[in-house]
Structure 1
Amino acid sequence: MTKFHKCIHLLVAVLFLTSCSNLKKATYFNNVPDSQFKSNLDNLEPVLGPNDLLSISVSSLNADATEIFNPANTSGSIKNNDNRAPEYLIDEDGNIRFPFLGKIKAAGKTKQDLREEITNELIKRKLLVEPIVNIRYLNFKVSVMGEVGNPTVLTVSTEKVSLLEALSLAGDLTIYAQRDNVLLIREENGIKNLTRIDLTSDDIFTSPNYYLKPNDVIYIQPNESKVASTSRLITWLPVIISALSFGIIAITR
């Protein structure tokens, strides 16, 4: 075999190995076999905080007595649109103002905690018999930015969304995205926590970060190819502009 053929074979081998390496970086869950993973649902229900918007409705066997707890037109921290349940905005002190019960501390509690407190107070004060209190989180939002098809802020009406669902709703990762270095920014108790997630492994399925929480921010960094191509464009841009200018001058003359 001549040296020329050996060089050709070596070049082909290098290109093949490079393409395999790039393929692994561009795909999810590399070499993951058929498996089963138990969903981690611990602490999935978010803790309420200031500026959270809640929908709270009350029902009971006595429709007339219940009506006063579902005000149609009120002011302050309560809003109502059409036939929807009244909406309560948690103020900066962490409170809401509920009909007949007055100021209630909501921040730092889960929906279940707040539901139980309102229910118990209605019974304790003999305002309703066997009341049913329903609470919904109205501003459950997550932000997806960086190397995705459609960077966006997602409003989650179901109050439950996984990282993979959020990425899909944002148009999925582009070919230039770092799939092994996804950044999750989450604020809890006034502290911003930054976590790196590798989507090329199956660890995400057992991670406590598989399901997102309100106000989570997902940032997808560009890979080296994107950065290099951008750098080359910036380097050659003055040359291209000069060449076009020279061409225009030559044509006009």
Structure 2
Amino acid sequence: MVLLVTSCATKHDIVYFQNAKNFETMVDTDTFTPKLKVNDIVSIYVSTYDVEASKPFNLIKSTGNTGQLIDYLIDIDGNIDFPVLGKIKLLGLTVEEAKELIKKKLSDGYLKDPIVNIRIQNFRISVLGAVNSPGTKVISGERVTLIEALALAGDLNIKGRRDNILVIRDFNGTKTYTRVDLTNKEVFNSPVYYLTQNDVVYVEPNNSAISGASGDSRIGTIISITSFILTTALIFVTRR
């Protein structure tokens, strides 16, 4: 009975955004865009009206009968080694800023009116803990919210704490730890509401999960001891 009572969760523990009022309007003024980090992998494609002129800037690797653009790794110094142009520092830039930087360099004596497309190839996040489908999730776009990430992980299970979600963020060796309360609408104003590539989201189990696990262990021990005592008593009675 004690285990049953301690394992119960109240509505207050599991309902999201509890202080959001009916017909309340919240305007999202966050213009967050992820910035490029060390060890990011990016694909870059350059095009122009003169196809032949742009070829040297689009390195192709052979994969069977087809070709594939070579991706670029942002090194420890924040640079990529780009064809013809050499080292280009992309660390800390948004994708749009990186496009403009490369476009400017190409326009300086190499190509006329170049178009540059850049895409982050390793945009993924990891969701761990008390969720229904933990693991690393690959993000197809370049912007994902904490709510969307938890949805990709199958949502929190009934024993996950909604009021203490931990987001671990690494930017070039510096880690930040931010906790978020999903039961409060202020989650939408959190600095980690929009996730960046390689963020880790951890959902802590609640007390009922912990007490339930320890309770199961205690019950198993009690059953084993009781079984031993009854077996011993039965042997003693049979011998008499």
Q: Counterparts of 1:154 and 1:146 in 2: how far apart (Å)?
A: 14
Give the C-alpha shift of residue 236 in structure 1: 2.3
| Aligned with residue 39 of structure 1, among 18, 28, 41 | 28
Secondary structure in 2 matching 1:68: helix
The 5 Å alignment of 1:143-154 reads: 143-154=126-137
Q: Higher mean Cα deviation, 105-114 or 90-99?
A: 105-114
Do structure 1's residue 96 and structure 2's residue 80 form an aligned pair?
yes
The 5 Å alignment of 1:2-13 reads: none
The 5 Å alignment of 1:176-215 reads: 176-215=159-198
CA-atom RMSD, angstroms?
Answer: 2.7
5+ residue gaps, structure 2, are 235-240
Q: Deviations over 1:87-116 (max 9, x none)?
A: 111122322111111111222322222212
CA contact (8 A) 1:186 1:215 kept: yes
The TM-score with structure 2 as length reference comes to: 0.84
Match of 2:120 in 1: 137
CA contact (8 A) 1:40 1:206 kept: no
5+ residue gaps, structure 1, are 1-14
Q: Deviations over 1:40-87 (max 9, x none)?
A: 433x2222222110010000000111122111128xxxx9x9454431
Match of 1:119 in 2: 103
Do structure 1's residue 160 and structure 2's residue 160 form an aligned pair?
no
Secondary structure in 1 matching 2:126: strand
Q: Counterparts of 2:83 and 2:76 in 1: how far apart (Å)?
A: 19
Q: Higher mean Cα deviation, 134-143 or 203-212?
A: 203-212
AA aligned opposite 1:96? I
Q: Counterparts of 1:179 and 1:247 in 2: how far apart (Å)?
A: 44
Do structure 1's residue 87 and structure 2's residue 75 form an aligned pair?
no
Question: 1:38 and 1:216, CA in 2 relative to 1: closer, same or farther beyond 3 A?
Answer: same
Aligned length: 227
Q: Counterparts of 2:190 and 2:29 in 1: how far apart (Å)?
A: 7
AA aligned opposite 2:96? Q
Question: 1:243 and 1:113, CA in 2 relative to 1: closer, same or farther beyond 3 A?
Answer: same
AA aligned opposite 2:86? G
Match of 1:24 in 2: 12
Question: 1:120 and 1:225, CA in 2 relative to 1: closer, same or farther beyond 3 A?
Answer: same
Identity of aligned residues (%): 40
Greater relative contact order, per chain length (Cα 8 Å cut-off, separation 6+): 2
Match of 1:57 in 2: 45
CA contact (8 A) 1:141 1:156 kept: yes
CA contact (8 A) 2:131 2:203 kept: yes
Match of 1:10 in 2: none
CA contact (8 A) 1:55 1:136 kept: yes
Secondary structure in 2 matching 1:230: helix
Q: Counterparts of 2:20 and 2:86 in 1: how far apart (Å)?
A: 54
CA contact (8 A) 2:37 2:171 kept: no
Match of 1:71 in 2: 59
Match of 1:172 in 2: 155
Q: Counterparts of 1:194 and 1:118 in 2: how far apart (Å)?
A: 34
Q: Counterparts of 2:231 and 2:112 in 1: how far apart (Å)?
A: 85
